[in-house]
Structure 1
Amino acid sequence: MADHSKTDLLQLIKRIGAFLSTKILKIFDTQDFRYVWAIAGFAVAVIFTWRAIRTTPSGSQRRQPKRQPPSSSTSGFSNNPNDDHLLPSEDLRTESVIDGSFQPGNVKLTLGQIVRQRLSDGRKVTCRLLGVILEENTPEELQAANKATVKSSVLEVLSEITKHSDLYLMERVLDDESENKVLTALEDAGIFTSGGLVKDKVLFCSTENGRMSFVRQLEPDWHIDSNPEITSQLARFIRHQLHISAKKQQFASNVHSSSSLEQFFAV
């Protein structure tokens, strides 16, 4: 661009020289000195034009200021200068896996937030009673007991589950008396009044196959059980399962294990 401008200017000067030569000859022939002032003014204009061209920087584009990358000492922001959006460390912490607390800052989630994230916002949950919610572990133990006993440690977790999911409880019982013991224990524990659980969502059957049939018909997002055989058989049909047991056992990849319900949702 600069070389082309200089070439044009040289051609212009040559034309001006030829013009001046003609006019000077005419001045001497006619002795009309008005042409002298015209030529002088024209020469001044050419000089100023030449100086303006020389002081103009080469190229027509403006130089773009260099983009300064963020300082590496600023915590919580990306060090890549090409990032369009820089995420603060608080946003990065919320995407971390729940482990009870976050570092740095020791930011803790509430139990309700942990329940929602652990269940992946599952809208329907089925759960057996014996060994998970009740202290009794077998139908025979429930039948022999004077009354059923609800684990106090699971009450808060159950309350949070019913706030975010449609919860169904189920169990195999040996007689009607055992069924009444369970309903009375749940009612005394305040489970029917503190959350969204109602008595119609507590289901009873006389066989383990009947309980497994309940689960398949309800098609929950999560099923919680303590019977390893049922957990294994339902793994093909239920998206997520939680197996409650003190013993470590191998299940399908969609089955989680924990020693207790409250431990799985531990804050």
Structure 2
Amino acid sequence: MAESSSSLASPTEEIVRLIKRLSAYVAFKMSNLFSTSTIRNLDSRSIGAIAGLAIAVIFTWRAIRTPGERQRRQPKRRMQPAETSNAAAAAAAGQTNVTSVPPEFSSPREDSAAQDVVDQFFQPVKPTLGQLVRQKLSEGRKVTCRLLGVILEESSPEELQKQVTVKSSVLEVLLEITKCSDLYLMERVLDDETEAKVLQALESAGVFTSGGLVKDKVLFCSTEVGRTSFVRQLEPDWHIDTNPEINTQLARFIKYQLHVSAAKPERLAPNVFTSQSLEQFFGCAS
């Protein structure tokens, strides 16, 4: 009867019995190993072999035992008839308020939070004034600009005879222009005294301290035709002016122009841009 019962045992039970016997043998050997006399007689290779055998037995036992324990720890719960009907009704209606999310999928709230992080990370960086100037000028290497109404608060040569006021809001733009372009300033004046006043006002405002603009690049003339002649001779990539007639005349010869007018100006030509101020054209004023 004993033989028949052992023959009817499953392969898993046979492996378990074999491991138990092997574990008992290893335990006996380990007890002998830790005796003082035996430790002295064994070399390091024998000790390592026994230790490795013990570790192998332990891991094999855990691998065989784990599935069975998981099945015992997580028994399937049979649903009662009432629960079955409720679950079927909920599935048929398809209008449950709470939606269960599988572990491998994220909830809409988590997706929204992750998207916010991505949007903040890839949020476009606001360009600097220097980048805006280079972009607007299309890498133009030479720029000519009149003073009245653009760099100076005054709008006529007669006003310059009384006072010369440099716009503080335009200084930073001028500095960035001189970093990437060869800048020339020009204006019509009525006398030499006014010319000296203009140079003094520009110097006091710090226009010449950056090193990109020197006094020799500030040109003066006595007529509007003279300013047009200056621009034609210099052949700039850009010219900035407040006189629409000069902008129209130079449209055939100059690649780009900016017409500045306090009132909202109209486009004079396809290559003539318009703005209420130099600062506004470069995006640093509202």
Class of the TM-score when normalised by the shorter of the 2 chains: 0.5 to 0.7
**1:210 maps onto 2:223 in alignment:** no
Please tell me the root mean square deviation across aligned C-alpha atoms, in Å: 1.6
Q: Number of residues paired by the alignment?
A: 164
In structure 1, C-alpha distance between the alignment counterparts of 2:127 and 2:262, rounded to whole Å: 26
In structure 1, C-alpha distance between the alignment counterparts of 2:269 and 2:200, rounded to whole Å: 36
User: Residue deviations 1:72-118, cap 9 Å, x none?
Assistant: xxxxxxxxxxxxxxxxx99xxxxxxxxxxxxx714200000000000
What SS does structure 1 have at the residue aligned with 2:170? helix
* Equivalent residue, structure 2, for 1:17: none
* Equivalent residue, structure 1, for 2:283: 266
* Equivalent residue, structure 1, for 2:150: 132
In structure 2, C-alpha distance between the alignment counterparts of 1:181 and 1:234, rounded to whole Å: 29
The 5-angstrom pairing of residues 118-129 of structure 1 reads 118-129=136-147
Contact persistence 1:241–1:255 (CA under 8 A): yes
The 5-angstrom pairing of residues 39-188 of structure 1 reads 105-143=123-161, 145=162, 147-188=163-204
Contact persistence 1:159–1:195 (CA under 8 A): no
In structure 2, C-alpha distance between the alignment counterparts of 1:161 and 1:172, rounded to whole Å: 22
| Residue 122 of structure 1, CA deviation | 0.2
Moved over 6 A (4+): none
What TM-score does the superposition give when structure 2 sets the normalisation length?
A: 0.56
* Equivalent residue, structure 2, for 1:3: none
Letter aligned with residue 116 of structure 1: R
| Residue 141 of structure 1, CA deviation | 1.2
What TM-score does the superposition give when structure 1 sets the normalisation length?
A: 0.60
Hey, which of these two has a bigger chunk of helix by percent? 2
Contact persistence 2:267–2:274 (CA under 8 A): no
* Equivalent residue, structure 2, for 1:34: none
Letter aligned with residue 155 of structure 2: N
Higher radius of gyration, 1 or 2 = 2
**1:256 maps onto 2:273 in alignment:** yes
Contact persistence 1:163–1:195 (CA under 8 A): no
5+ long unaligned stretches in structure 2: 1-117
What SS does structure 2 have at the residue aligned with 1:136? coil
User: Residue deviations 1:172-197, cap 9 Å, x none?
Assistant: 00001110110000000011012400
